Amino acid sequence: MDLTPIVTALRQAQHVVVFTGAGASAESGIPTFRDALSGLWARFDATKLATAEAFRADPSLCWGWYEWRRRKVLQAQPNAAHQAIAQLARHVPRLTVITQNVDDLHERAGSAGVIHLHGSLHAPRCLDCGQPYRAALPSAALAEGGCRIEPPRCAACQGYVRPGVVWFGEPLPEAQWAAALDAAQGCDLLLSVGTSGLVYPAAELPLQALRCRATVAHINPQRFAVSAQAYFLQGAAGAVMAALLAQAFA
Ligand code: APR
């Protein structure tokens, strides 16, 4: 794989955007949304559990699934991709990290000011009144394979507490989306790392960067069609990001 054009772009860029998806956390053991689910969740499709309808239809199934994911995140460590992205901030004049992930692995690797387009597993709130739920969640008690869990109730209105993530069909948080769009339209290089590019509006960001004449590279072990002007670096996020950093700034 020839990294030269991206290595050159990295050295010259004034503003780099790294845009990550579930594949960036895959090497930390967090399943992507396209992986087949196991155990209790085997007969469900992740993209169908991540909806308001799924929560309303079966709150304890949906909350149990999110708590299982949250447990996986609590047990996980940032991987080589998260580390390389955090290190990149020391080498380029400006770096903006935009993620679709609801974990905190970028922050735990040392990235600051991460834009979370799809919310966070660690910020539950009331389904009805929106009040943040601040009581501790009993993560240690969560079963390894996952189980149904009745969601807690809101202290203010007794509504169900829901995960603080953006479900399919819900709008993105406005301020985060505006900041992400601004960064994509103003950067000279956008690295799209470990995302299937199927979920809009987030998938619009690399296209916006291209329209504004930035260099765009997709990093993914699974090849897919990209715009004619974009680069595709085939490989796992950790290995490719580490190689880019090593070649650009050794
Ligand atoms: N390194 C890089 N990419 C990887 C790796 C890896 N080690 N392993 C898997 N991938 C790639 C897969 O090939 C796939 O293209 O990660 C991508 C994951 O795709 P999705 O699961 O669709 O994740 P994402 O693109 O982040 O989905 C967007 O959709 O489900 C919603 O809100 C959820 O944020 C999520 C959004």
- Give the CATH number, domain containing residue 8: 3.40.50.1220
Please check whether residue 138 lies inside any domain of the structure: yes
82 Cβ below 6 A of ligand 1: no
Give the confidence band of 42 by pLDDT, cuts at 50, 70, 90.
confident
Cα 75–Cα 202–Cα 44 angle in degrees, nearest 5: 55
Identify the pLDDT of residue 23.
96
pLDDT tens, residue by residue, 145-158: 778 899 999 999 99
**Domain co-membership, 1 together with 26:** yes
**Domain co-membership, 109 together with 214:** yes
221 Cβ below 6 A of ligand 1: yes
Report the SS3 class of residue 220: strand
Lowest-confidence region among 42-51, 76-85, 139-148, 196-205: 139-148
Residue 2: exposed, middle, or buried by beta-carbon count in 10 A (0-12, 13-18, 19+)?
Answer: exposed
Nearest to 82 by CA among 33, 120, 26, 32: 26
Please check whether residue 182 lies inside any domain of the structure: yes
Q: Which residue has the tokens 């009993």?
A: 138
**Domain co-membership, 154 together with 225:** no
Distance CA 61, CA 149 (A): 7
Burial 100-119 (b: 16+ CB within 10 A, else e): bbbbbbbbebebeebbbbbb
Q: How many domains does the chain have?
A: 2
Please check whether residue 49 lies inside any domain of the structure: yes
Amino acid at 80: A
Q: Cα–Cα distances in Å, from 94 out to 62, 80, 97, 172? A: 39, 21, 10, 24
Q: Are 109 and 83 in contact (CB under 8 A)?
A: yes
Give the confidence band of 237 by pLDDT, cuts at 50, 70, 90.
very high
Give the confidence band of 113 by pLDDT, cuts at 50, 70, 90.
very high
Identify the pLDDT of residue 21.
97
Residue 141 neighbours by CB distance under 10 Å: 10
Q: Span 206-227, mean pLDDT?
A: 97
Q: Span 87-105, mean pLDDT?
A: 98
Residue 225, pLDDT above cutoff 70:
yes
Please check whether residue 167 lies inside any domain of the structure: no
CATH of the domain at 143: 3.30.1600.10
Please check whether residue 213 lies inside any domain of the structure: yes
**Domain co-membership, 142 together with 214:** no
Expressed in percent and rounded to 5, the helix, strand and coil fractions of the chain are 40, 15, 45
**Domain co-membership, 46 together with 12:** no
Please check whether residue 64 lies inside any domain of the structure: yes
Identify the pLDDT of residue 235.
98
Q: Is 91 a catalytic residue?
A: no
Please check whether residue 150 lies inside any domain of the structure: yes
Identify the pLDDT of residue 141.
59
- Say which of 82, 106, 116, 118 is annotated catalytic: 118
48 Cβ below 6 A of ligand 1: no
Give the confidence band of 139 by pLDDT, cuts at 50, 70, 90.
low
CA of 20, closest atom in ligand 1:
26
Mean pLDDT of the chain: 93
**Domain co-membership, 146 together with 236:** no
Lowest-confidence region among 59-73, 83-97, 207-221: 59-73
Q: Can you give the residue range of the structural domain that contains 234?
A: 1-30+78-120+172-250
Residue 39, pLDDT above cutoff 80:
no
236 Cβ below 6 A of ligand 1: yes
**Domain co-membership, 148 together with 241:** no
237 Cβ below 6 A of ligand 1: yes
Helix runs in the chain, H state only: 4-12, 22-26, 46-49, 52-57, 59-75, 80-88, 105-109, 174-186, 204-211, 237-249
Residue 140, pLDDT above cutoff 60:
no
Q: Span 101-126, mean pLDDT?
A: 97
**Domain co-membership, 205 together with 249:** yes
**Domain co-membership, 193 together with 141:** no
**Domain co-membership, 207 together with 240:** yes
Identify the pLDDT of residue 137.
82
Nearest to 108 by CA among 83, 88, 91, 87: 83
Give, for ligand 1, the residue of 192, 199, 234, 244 to mutate: max count of ligand atoms closer than 8 Å to Cβ. 199
**Domain co-membership, 186 together with 65:** no
What residue's CA is closest to ligand 1, atom 7? 236
**Domain co-membership, 136 together with 250:** no
